Amino acid sequence: MSRIAKTLSGFEVYSHVAARFADAASLLMGGFLAYWLRFGSLEYMIERYQWMMLSGMLLGMVIFGACGIYRSWRGAVRVELVVRIVHAFVILGGIVFTYLYFTKTGAEFSRLWLGMWLCSAFIFSVGARTVAYPVLNRLRRQGRNRKGVILVGEVDSCLIAARRIAAQPSAGFDVTSVRLLDASDCARFGLEDCRAFDSEYDANLVSDEIWVCLPLARGNLVEKILRDLDYCIGNIRYMPDMHGLRLLNHDISTVAGLYLLDMSCTPMSGTARFVKAAEDKILAGLALLLLSPLMLVIALAVKLTSRGPVLYRQERMSWNGESFQMLKFRSMPVDSEAAGVCWGGASGKRVTLVGRFLRRSSLDELPQLINVVKGEMSLVGPRPERTVFVERFKHEIPGYMQKHMVRAGITGWAQIHGWRGDTDLKARIEHDLWYIDNWSVWLDLKILFLTVWRGFFHPHAQ
């Protein structure tokens, strides 16, 4: 085994032990802190609370391991780690409260203490990692705790892998050598140890990591290369080169024992779907309550200045291609679309006096809060389009239908960047797809804040 591998394996053992120790300490410290905050003293701590903390710590270690928290997070997205920690604490809390309920011992413990214990332990656990990871990143930039990688495959795919590794030194990987399927491509690599892959000569490669890098079109070679690498020592991984493909929330999943490469999947599944729905219901409900006086004034203005209903209903397409009736304050005369449906700014020529102000200020969109409460829309997401235009745009704009992998929104990533109304539809779709691929609650809150901060008035509003 190489010196790097020996040092690395020892370091990883210590880091994993340290992570477990930090979580155990977090659960104990969280319990003590919660007890002190709840009862004001630790001097006469009740014994059953000590047993609960000890049992919770041991159970927590098992749950954390089962949730994959102690796997290697080298080069991974840390937000996913935080999400897994949240899941682990939810499971731990669920087991604790279920135990107390069925054993009828819940009255012996303060519910406030239990809640404060889990919250404090979560903060300590995340806080420990928040302190530790910058230290690890600094060590890796200094050349310590790094893994050597041998790249095997086609030149373009290997170049992509090498550039990504070089762009993220904090991930702790170094390309030590390259084995290409075509010897004539070796000149394109600025690496001394780069030569053609030889199934006999390279059968005994030794490295921390061996990555097989091939485009999807050459996937048939993977099995042969893996057979050729049978005697190699190191973690062997396959990196399918999907450069140039539009992927959303790509990952690897297991279904019925089958390994599936998730290429374009909705982020709204499982816990994320519940969190998004809760966010929409709570915030939209509060917004309706606060803005109801303003909406009443707008409704009176629309009713008194033009004949017809106050609200305008329009069929739009949202999540999974489902249609719904989107609500707006009416800004055009009744039957103004009798001659045909217009897209973008063309319909702005027929608005009423009050309607023009409502459109310029985006106040005509406020009734869509009702759509959000009903579960037909979201506060944040791609803007919905009329079904007649969806049929047209899906053939003209690549990736257009992928925007329907989440609920349509009142505002979105495209809108806060100026892509709204009569603007470049392709640019708008690019922003919508970026939002879907990077969705998080924090991104939603950022978009809502910027929507309010930058104001409702916009030059492209029609």
Domains (ranges, CATH) in the chain? 3-141 (no CATH), 147-245 (3.40.50.720), 271-453 (no CATH)
Q: What is the pLDDT of residue 7?
A: 42
Give the chain's mean pLDDT.
Answer: 82
Task: From 406, 417, 413, 455, select the one nearest 435 (Cα to Cα).
Answer: 413
pLDDT band at 456 (very low <50, low <70, confident <90, very high): low
Q: What is the pLDDT of residue 204?
A: 65
pLDDT at 197 over 90: no
Q: What percent of the chain has pLDDT over 70?
A: 86
Q: What is the largest CA-CA distance in the chain?
A: 87
Q: What is the CA radius of gyration of the chain?
A: 28
Q: Name the residue with higher pLDDT: 336 or 164.
A: 164
pLDDT band at 423 (very low <50, low <70, confident <90, very high): low
Q: What is the pLDDT of residue 287?
A: 93
pLDDT band at 448 (very low <50, low <70, confident <90, very high): very high
pLDDT at 453 over 70: yes
Question: Is the pTM value of this prediction over 0.85?
Answer: no
Mean pLDDT is lowest, of 51-60, 224-233, 272-281, 407-416, for 224-233
Mean pLDDT is lowest, of 197-206, 281-290, 451-460, for 451-460
Distance of alpha carbon 315 from alpha carbon 330, whole angstroms: 14
pLDDT at 425 over 60: yes
Q: How far is CA 103 from CA 6, 108, 115, in A?
A: 49, 11, 19
Task: Please state the rounded mean pLDDT for residues 31-52.
Answer: 88
Q: What is the pLDDT of residue 305?
A: 86
Q: Name the residue with higher pLDDT: 147 or 371.
A: 371
Q: What is the pLDDT of residue 3?
A: 43
Length of the chain, please? 462
Q: What is the pLDDT of residue 133?
A: 78
Q: Name the residue with higher pLDDT: 252 or 208.
A: 208
| Long-range own/partner contacts, residues 158-162 (CB < 8 A, 24 or more apart) | 158/189, 158/213, 159/188, 159/189, 160/213, 160/241, 160/243, 161/211, 161/213, 161/239, 162/189, 162/191
Mean pLDDT is lowest, of 14-23, 161-170, 194-203, 354-363, for 194-203
Pairing of strands 323-329, 311-317: antiparallel
pLDDT at 295 over 50: yes
Q: Name the residue with higher pLDDT: 49 or 400.
A: 49
Task: Please state the rounded mean pLDDT for residues 173-197.
Answer: 82
Task: Please state the rounded mean pLDDT for residues 246-269.
Answer: 72
Instruction: Find the Cα–Cα–Cα–Cα dihedral 204, 206, 211, 217, rounded to 10°.
Output: -10
pLDDT band at 4 (very low <50, low <70, confident <90, very high): very low
Q: Which of the residue ranges 20-34, 193-207, 387-401 has the most confident prediction, judged by mean pLDDT?
A: 20-34
- Phi, then psi, of 200 in degrees rounded to 5: -85, -50
pLDDT at 418 over 70: yes
Mean pLDDT is lowest, of 9-23, 82-96, 99-113, 376-390, for 9-23
Task: From 174, 256, 247, select the one nearest 216 (Cα to Cα).
Answer: 247
pLDDT at 414 over 80: yes
327: amino acid identity, one letter: L
pLDDT at 6 over 50: no
pLDDT at 104 over 60: yes
pLDDT at 421 over 80: no
Strand partners, 314: 326
- Phi, then psi, of 187 in degrees rounded to 5: -65, -20
Q: What is the pLDDT of residue 360?
A: 83
Q: Name the residue with higher pLDDT: 370 or 83.
A: 370
Say which DSSP state 264 is in: B
- Phi, then psi, of 298 in degrees rounded to 5: -60, -40
pLDDT at 359 over 90: no
